[in-house]
Structure 1
Amino acid sequence: MRDPEECPVIVDALRTPIGTVGGALRAISAGDLLAPVLAELADHCDAPIDEVVIGNIRGPGGNPARVATLAAGLDVATPAVTIDRQCGSGMAAIEYSVAMLSGPRQGFQIAGGTQSASTQPLTFWPAASPDDEPRQYFRAPFTDAGHADPEMGAAADLLSAEHGIGRERQDAYAARSHQRAVTSADAGAFAGELVPVGGLDRDERPRRGFTTQRLARFRPAFTPEGTATAANSCGVNDGAAAVLICDGRTAARRGLPGLRVLDAVTVGCDPERPGWGIVPAVQWLVERSGVHLDDVDLLDFNEAFAGQVLSCLDALGIDELRNCPQGGAIALGHPWAATGAVQLTRMFTQMVRHNTTGARLGLAAIAIGGGQGSAMLVEAV
């Protein structure tokens, strides 16, 4: 691992409230969700923004990062790029900026993600012949034809079955995620990181009163005998999040507090088990950094499905109670390309903005369709 003093530092992080698909943010495009976040971060920075790097999937095309950068009122000279690593796109954007700022390049960048599932365009395969109709598809292929390309929910059911994660344990985990998110929201834990948009100033998804007994009433959502349900899985959501990041020398010279990015890795795994990507990503990061998981103070492994994240936590020897102490994606929602940036924004709040526990090390990880996983290790400075 390189000299920590040379590692880029996240010096601010903001997000929109997370909306439910078809809910309060249903008419707001991916670019318009992101623009207020970019504008607020840029306003917090007294130096030019050198680049904007944004993750987005199934969006309108045309480089939404550039559209949002212009809409936010940033200088027209500020370049912007949109990248796609499916659910890992928001974290990939931050990883991209970290890589650029780890060399001789200095200055400030904004990196994150945006997702509007509510406004994403309808997509069709062209007709195979003049007599055929175009065929709509609801997600792009995650693999080539030579590999299994399961739906994420079905893949989560497979992981749960293989690792012995039963329905009752999944429901209890999901209920706790909602309870944690509601409690945290009531205590004002999210207030400093939220940029209201579309009249929405709170996350739509967290549910009061969710109990294991209530969740037990939900039927399997993906496979007939499966254990993943609509209640113990993440939602389909709209939202945006981004971080303001600079090189380590600039942060040290200016005395800026924040999250130093010690390391970031992305790996591949079996495409038939895409939710497993967290495990090899974390294992590689731990091996490369030399940090022991017991020394990490704050964990945020994306809660795509309760059975999936529990399988990963068990495999890594991590007590499930340690993950997402203020609630994760099962409660808050999973705005696909924005989620990795939401995770780092949540970490910034808990470790910098409101560090009441003395947390020093944080680890975020996310599994990715097609069989990949990303992990990022940060340190409060």
Structure 2
Amino acid sequence: MSAPVIVAAARSAIGTAGRSLAGVTADQLAGPVLAATLDRSGLAPEDVSDVVLGNCMGPGGDVARSASLAAGLPVTVPALTVDRQCASGLAAIDVAVSLVRGGASAVLAGGVESVSTAPWRHWPPVDGADPVRYERAPFAPAGWDDPEMGVANDLLAHEAGVTRERQDEYAARSHARAVAAREAGAFDAEVVAVAGVTRDDRPKATLTVDKLARLRPAFRDNGSVTAGNSCGISDGAAAVAVVDAATHERLGVPGLRILATATAGVEPSRPGRGLVPATRIALQRSGIGLDDLDAIEINEAFAGQVLACCDELGVDPLRVCAEGGALALGHPWGASGAVLVVRLFHQLVGSSIPKVRRRRRPEVRRRSLEGSLEGRLGLAAIAAGGGQGVAMVVQAC
């Protein structure tokens, strides 16, 4: 069976919650991104079989359907909203892959989050007391260890032996890389104007290790995770067009062939580890080794979490998020997994960004159902609340 191919990818700018995209609802964020992705793909609206979007905190009512209609897609195109928490956007693309393998010719998929406009919810009143605001979803049932994300990832970093100094260095580097990439125009081709916004809010040119070292622990006494080496809470949307091999051939455009995907579970008390087993499974299914990868996009929820996962996988952190990640750009929960794939698309397929091939291990035979794999290779991986992870291996074609 031929592997599905991503033929277009776009995202909005990523806005810090309450700032540049604060008044834009989830469907208003995703609609223009879906429309731009469709336009760039060369597909006609009637070619689209389905729309799948990840979302965590929206108003309900099937955000993907509302966004699809806002994008101008025909009413005959159905839509599905997926919630795998922070991995929702990548999970939505995985669903699209399954739909294409099942016979759909083209699916638009991605994710969206508008934290700024997410509705407030409240628990029902008990014994006549006032309603209590619903602050966050439980990631595990009652009786399970279910710490807040900051606490969980501070503990993960501590248990993995990741020092505060390494975390601050990684965070400063993420900002420096994102600023350099932005100034070099590396994001120009992927960012779609939404509400007139085309520039990510968060990357800071002035963020240094010395400045980060002055920040106090944010989640635990004597902890190592701070506001500076954590991601920002953000608004944003991202989407890709996934097509079958015949449609890819008809369109005659470059793309990313999806070689393998994987989803895995870990202990809910350490959700940040979820991307580790997912990555291992996806690589094993693809027949690709870590040394073969040209681009690695891991969602940077916390510097300590990324470093702990890199250490466990045996990945040099310098290879991760070469143009900055969520620590610098921000983390729009339901969209972040799709943002990773958009970043891979423009790094691996875009001709304006030079690439350096990595030395290949001689014992690795890179084969698949498609035959010889000569294209540049990439990995997207993200962890999610509840102790889950999603990973995807792609090849430029």
Q: Which range, TM-score by smaller chain?
A: over 0.9
Task: Tell me the equivalent position of 2:369.
Answer: none
In structure 2, C-alpha distance between the alignment counterparts of 1:153 and 1:248, rounded to whole Å: 42
In structure 1, C-alpha distance between the alignment counterparts of 2:242 and 2:186, rounded to whole Å: 22
**Equivalent of 1:24, from 10, 15, 20?**
20
- SS state of the match for residue 275, structure 1? helix
**Equivalent of 1:14, from 10, 13, 23?**
10
- CA deviation after TM superposition for structure 1 residue 198, in Å: 1.9
- CA deviations on 1:19-72 (whole Å, 9 max, x unpaired) are 000001111101100111111122233332111100111111111111111111
Letter paired with 2:270: R
- SS state of the match for residue 200, structure 2? coil
Task: Tell me the equivalent position of 2:161.
Answer: 164
Task: Tell me the equivalent position of 1:111.
Answer: 109
Correspondence 1:200 to 2:197: yes
Correspondence 1:140-219 to 2 at 5 A: 140-219=137-216
**Equivalent of 1:34, from 30, 42, 62?**
30
Q: Normalising by structure 2, what TM-score?
A: 0.92
Task: Tell me the equivalent position of 1:123.
Answer: 121
Task: Tell me the equivalent position of 2:366.
Answer: none
Correspondence 1:342 to 2:358: no
Are the equivalent residues in 1 in contact too, given 2:239–2:342 (CA < 8 A)? yes
Are the equivalent residues in 1 in contact too, given 2:266–2:274 (CA < 8 A)? yes
**Equivalent of 2:391, from 345, 354, 375?**
375
In structure 2, C-alpha distance between the alignment counterparts of 1:92 and 1:371, rounded to whole Å: 14
Are the equivalent residues in 2 in contact too, given 1:241–1:341 (CA < 8 A)? yes
Are the equivalent residues in 2 in contact too, given 1:351–1:358 (CA < 8 A)? no
Q: Normalising by structure 1, what TM-score?
A: 0.96
Stretch moving more, 67-76 or 298-307: 67-76
Task: Tell me the equivalent position of 2:378.
Answer: 362
- CA deviation after TM superposition for structure 1 residue 240, in Å: 0.4
- SS state of the match for residue 192, structure 1? coil
Letter paired with 2:208: T
Are the equivalent residues in 1 in contact too, given 2:124–2:132 (CA < 8 A)? yes
Correspondence 1:244 to 2:230: no
Correspondence 1:47-58 to 2 at 5 A: 47=44, 48-58=47-57
Correspondence 1:267 to 2:267: no
In structure 2, C-alpha distance between the alignment counterparts of 1:70 and 1:370, rounded to whole Å: 32
Are the equivalent residues in 2 in contact too, given 1:52–1:78 (CA < 8 A)? yes
- CA deviations on 1:186-214 (whole Å, 9 max, x unpaired) are 00000000111122110000001211001
- CA deviation after TM superposition for structure 1 residue 319, in Å: 0.6
- CA deviation after TM superposition for structure 1 residue 358, in Å: 5.9
Task: Tell me the equivalent position of 1:290.
Answer: 287
How much is the aligned-residue C-alpha RMSD, in angstroms? Answer: 1.2
In structure 2, C-alpha distance between the alignment counterparts of 1:290 and 1:188, rounded to whole Å: 34
Task: Tell me the equivalent position of 1:98.
Answer: 97
Letter paired with 1:38: L
In structure 1, C-alpha distance between the alignment counterparts of 2:13 and 2:219, rounded to whole Å: 27
Letter paired with 1:195: V
Are the equivalent residues in 2 in contact too, given 1:31–1:65 (CA < 8 A)? yes
Correspondence 1:74 to 2:73: yes
**Equivalent of 1:228, from 211, 225, 234?**
225
Stretch moving more, 173-182 or 54-63: 54-63
In structure 1, C-alpha distance between the alignment counterparts of 2:193 and 2:217, rounded to whole Å: 34
Tell me the percent identity: 54
- CA deviation after TM superposition for structure 1 residue 146, in Å: 3.2
In structure 1, C-alpha distance between the alignment counterparts of 2:163 and 2:61, rounded to whole Å: 44
Total equivalences in the alignment: 375
In structure 2, C-alpha distance between the alignment counterparts of 1:248 and 1:373, rounded to whole Å: 27
- CA deviations on 1:224-243 (whole Å, 9 max, x unpaired) are 22111111010000000000
In structure 2, C-alpha distance between the alignment counterparts of 1:300 and 1:82, rounded to whole Å: 24
In structure 2, C-alpha distance between the alignment counterparts of 1:265 and 1:166, rounded to whole Å: 30
- SS state of the match for residue 189, structure 2? helix
- SS state of the match for residue 93, structure 2? helix
Task: Tell me the equivalent position of 1:83.
Answer: 82
Task: Tell me the equivalent position of 1:308.
Answer: 305
- CA deviations on 1:290-317 (whole Å, 9 max, x unpaired) are 2111111110111000000000001111
Where does structure 1 lack aligned partners over 5 or more consecutive residues?
Answer: none
In structure 2, C-alpha distance between the alignment counterparts of 1:199 and 1:254, rounded to whole Å: 30
Are the equivalent residues in 2 in contact too, given 1:106–1:250 (CA < 8 A)? no
In structure 2, C-alpha distance between the alignment counterparts of 1:358 and 1:218, rounded to whole Å: 36
Are the equivalent residues in 1 in contact too, given 2:48–2:77 (CA < 8 A)? yes
Regions of 4+ moved over 6 Å: none
In structure 2, C-alpha distance between the alignment counterparts of 1:255 and 1:65, rounded to whole Å: 28
Are the equivalent residues in 2 in contact too, given 1:170–1:307 (CA < 8 A)? yes
- SS state of the match for residue 331, structure 1? helix
Stretch moving more, 351-360 or 282-291: 351-360
Letter paired with 2:56: I
In structure 2, C-alpha distance between the alignment counterparts of 1:56 and 1:207, rounded to whole Å: 27
Letter paired with 1:375: A
